[in-house]
Amino acid sequence: MSGTIKVLNVAEKPSVAKSVSGLLSRNQGLRVRDGRSRYNKIFEFNYSIRGQPCHMLFTSVTGHLMELEFEDRFRKWHSCDPGDLYHAPVRKSVPEDKLDIKRTLEEEARRCQWLVLWLDCDREGENIAFEVIEVCRAVNRHLTIRRARFSALIEREIHHATQNLIDPNQWFSDAVDARQEIDLRIGASFTRFQTMLLRDKFVIDSATDDRNLVLSYGPCQFPTLGFVVERYWEVQSHEPEEFWTINCSHKSDEGVATFNWMRGHLFDYTCAVIVYEMCVQEPNATVSKVQHQEKLKYPPYPLSTIELEKRASRYFRMSSEHTMKVAEDLYQAGFISYPRTETDSFSSRTDLHAIVQEQQEHPEWGSYAQRLLDPETGLWRNPGSGGHDDKAHPPIHPTKFSAGEHGWSQDHRKLYELVVRHFLACVSQPAVGAETIVEIDIAGELFSASGRMILERNYLDVYRYESWGASMIPTYTVGQQFIPTSLTLDTGVTRPPPLLSEADLLSCMDKAGIGTDATMHDHIKKLLDRFYATKDSNTRFSPTNLINGKQCGVLPQVKTVTPFSLGNICRTWTKEALKEKLKHYGVDNVEDLTLVEDSNNEGMNRGFAFLEFASHSDAMDAFKRLQRRDVLFGVDRPAKVSFADSFIDPGDEIMAQFRFRTIFIDCLPPSWDEDRVRELLKKYGEIEKIELARNMQSSGRKDYGFVTCAKSINNTELGEGDIKAKVRARLSRPHQRGRDKHISRDGFRYGRGSRRVVRGSWDRSDPRGFSPCGVRGITNRAPPPSLKRPVGLRGKRPLITAPTRGRPSTPPPSRSYDRRAPAIPYPKSSLKREYGRRDELPPSRSRGVMDYGSRVVPDRHSSYREEYSSRNSGYFDLPRSTSRTVARKPYVDDSYAQRFERQPPGYREGRGRGYETMSGSKDHMLLWMMALHDMLIWVLGIQGLV
């Protein structure tokens, strides 16, 4: 072997080492022996690199050879504060399970002159390459280091890479080192923090062993979860809203044309009916526009990793993780190029025709490949560019022909077929179609219909995953008039967006730059493995209870009640006597009544009680009745009424989710100290903390306390004989009595004489504009839709505020915050007319039949079109789409001197009500009718009459 040098070749996986060795040696003179690791064989053969005879030794690693970790004194969870991990020293070393691979590399590197690295050509592969370099150079400093760059395990690619070796890229490796350290410090600190914080506080249903429970955090994992939760909340908060649209169809000898209203739809029923009646009374349709144009449907861009995952999920419902596993198998077998690439444009050096030629013999798409290569068909087109190039790998494409290998699963066949068909499509001409758009005018309202005829299918012939539907419509000419076959007013409701599919989630991650093409599927898999999210049969994601908050008692499904306090009650009265007196004053809808007993005087009360009502309107009605100065409850002082602080009475189901529960103990005897309380509660498990009011300097009362214990205790009594204390579970402390006097309504506290709004103790403002159901004191305070004013009148009325008073103003009577009822109660769905006769509208649903002649001018003279032919904006200036962005003015509630700005439009909102200038006497009348109607509703709403 004189003049022959020994070359140590290292691949990223054992299968790649085997494939490259077979291709370079052509399976001649190839010898195999075992290394230190039984899974990483060593292949030996002779080869020539640029005329230099070489004895090749080919082995492999299994992914990363080293791991980044903290030093030993920081590795135990309780060894330091999680915040200390941000500056704790880290080290990179070979783990125990890969020491055999390290020994193999050391033994072979000692007797070699060259080291050639065959790692994947991306940043992660570059980092693994430098890990191998560190191990080998530690035992042989004189090694010559080279790097092979390849994108497919095919013979021409491997030989070209061997003859054109390059230097490894240190910068790519350093970038991965930085990312690994950031992920380690952030992930470890937050994982330790939230696991130790939450594991001992809540019962996690998904946990099988509390001692091994880990609530992991990742810089990419949690933003990905955020997309899932955000869409889920958007779906849950959606409230369907009814809308109306006018549909028109025309049947002729050539077929049926369906015309769509160009306004889209309206949310105001009265307005929709008026417009519909106009169309019914003047049903002649005039063709105003006929447009013929050529339409092209372009083929997809070359295939990148993210597109492969998205399309496999959409077409085959394969998870991104499984897609990458199957693609990796096909790559290692040499059938497709490297599957981890961000590139979606082919280099000019790529021989695209050679790739197509290999597919000519396939029984399904071979004939299409032959047409592509035939210049006379004109089917060939150089592929487009998606604008991404990672400078490492080409787009995913087939590298070897296969009609289906023995041992392939259905998923292997499907994915290989997708790669081939996608490649053939991207080098094909786009589909060509002829599109016709027809617009008609009915009483000033515009409708449109479109038809399409496909002229050339081109790439659609091979790319069966996409379709381009054709629809034919009759022939129309400008100025043609006809009577529609049907004209209907139909109703529908808005729908929430669907939950995120896996393809949608990948798109969100790609757009936000979360993860890489090689790691996105891992982040999604972790969400499922950690029970943070679930995926249904339609590959749509939703958060689990652990994330959504139900297990933590944040969103309990409990009945909403309004607490109410009543003072200045005779101390000798019983609960029954108080109930009778309340009925005397007209308050008979009390949901629950608690008369606070005096623990020091048997048979006496403390002079105040708590009332709970099933609805806020009931509580407001009682407040109004009991606030009069002639309301007395057995004493010579008027009753003292106010809204009590809102709190959540969690109940046993919610309290069962907490490891340590805070309970409120009332009526504590003066002789009981902390030791006595601890002794009485020891049977309920571990006691974490005891706080007695007598030890609190700011407490006015001294006969209550708080205890944090391990087991749930609720609605029970402690003690023996006549000396007992009442126990009630609480999730938060009540406000101390005698401090911060206020009236509380729906979680807001209105200070006397103050315009400042203060949140209640259990109120949480939600950035998405919806309130968690079932939590008291958290309600939507947006102005009621029934009080919207016409745009032309907004801003002309000054904001009215109630004067500051010594006593809080009386709340207004209850009003419905539902969408206002339509003024004209026409039937809502599918109003149809036969044009052979003129029937009147059906009778009203809830009122008597109204004379519609007072709203619409009945006599239409023949010169109407000529007199008002130049119309500014169609019928009137309602926008022609569902998107309405007219600014809304703040709504003022006069009774509270508080100004509530309307919340930003949600998913179903975003529309204004624009009543602006219209031309024509009929249009002016219609405008003023609508304006007066809305103004009347608004005035009645202010007066509390609707």
**Token pair of 103, please?**
């020994």
Radius of gyration of the chain (CA): 38
In 3-state terms, what secondary structure has residue 75?
A: coil
User: If you count them, how many residues does the chain have?
Assistant: 946
* Residue found by looking up tokens 């064989």 in the block: 41
Secondary structure of residue 620 in the 3-state scheme: helix
72 contacts: CB under 8 Å, gap ≥ 6: none
Two tokens, residue 697? 């300097």
Task: For residue 797, give both structure tokens.
Answer: 């009325």
C-beta atoms surrounding 322 within 10 Å? 17
Strands 114-118, 5-11: pairing is parallel
| Cα distances (angstroms) measured from residue 187 to each of 180, 183, 218, 496 | 10, 6, 5, 34
Distance in angstroms (rounded) separating the CA atoms of residues 547 and 229: 8
Which residues neighbour 165 within 8 Å (Cβ) at sequence distance 6 or greater? Answer: 49, 116, 146, 147, 148
Neighbours of 365 (CB within 10 A): 19
CA quadruple 63, 69, 75, 81: dihedral, nearest 10? -130
Q: Quick check: 520 and 502 in contact, CB under 8 A?
A: no
Residue 700 structure tokens:
């006015």
β-bridge mates for residue 641, sequence order: 566
Active-site annotation holder among 338, 416, 826, 891 = 338
Question: Is 502 in contact with 320 (CB distance < 8 Å)?
Answer: yes
Alpha carbon distances (Å) from 376 to 182, 351, 356, 380, 382: 57, 20, 17, 10, 16
Beta strands at 114-118 and 144-147: parallel, antiparallel or unpaired = parallel
| CA 88 to the chain's CA centroid | 36
At 447 the three-state DSSP class reads strand
Report the alpha-carbon distance of residue 921 to residue 936 in Å, rounded: 22
Tokens of 113: 């002159």
744: left (phi over 0), alpha (psi -120 to 50) or beta: beta
**What SS3 class is residue 58?**
strand
CA 555 to each of CA 549, 748, 773, 914: distance values in angstroms, whole numbers, following the listed order = 6, 19, 7, 38
Please report, for residues 608, 791, 941, the alpha-carbon distance to residue 784 in angstroms, rounded to integers and kept in the order given.
35, 16, 9
Q: What are phi and psi of 576, to 5 degrees?
A: -65, -40
User: Is 891 labeled as catalytic in the residue annotation?
Assistant: no
Measured CA to CA, the distance from residue 19 to residue 15 in angstroms comes to 6
User: Residue 184 to residues 53, 346, 495, 781: CA-CA distances in angstroms?
Assistant: 45, 36, 42, 44
Nearest to 124 by CA among 382, 341, 431, 294: 341
Just list the catalytic residues: 338
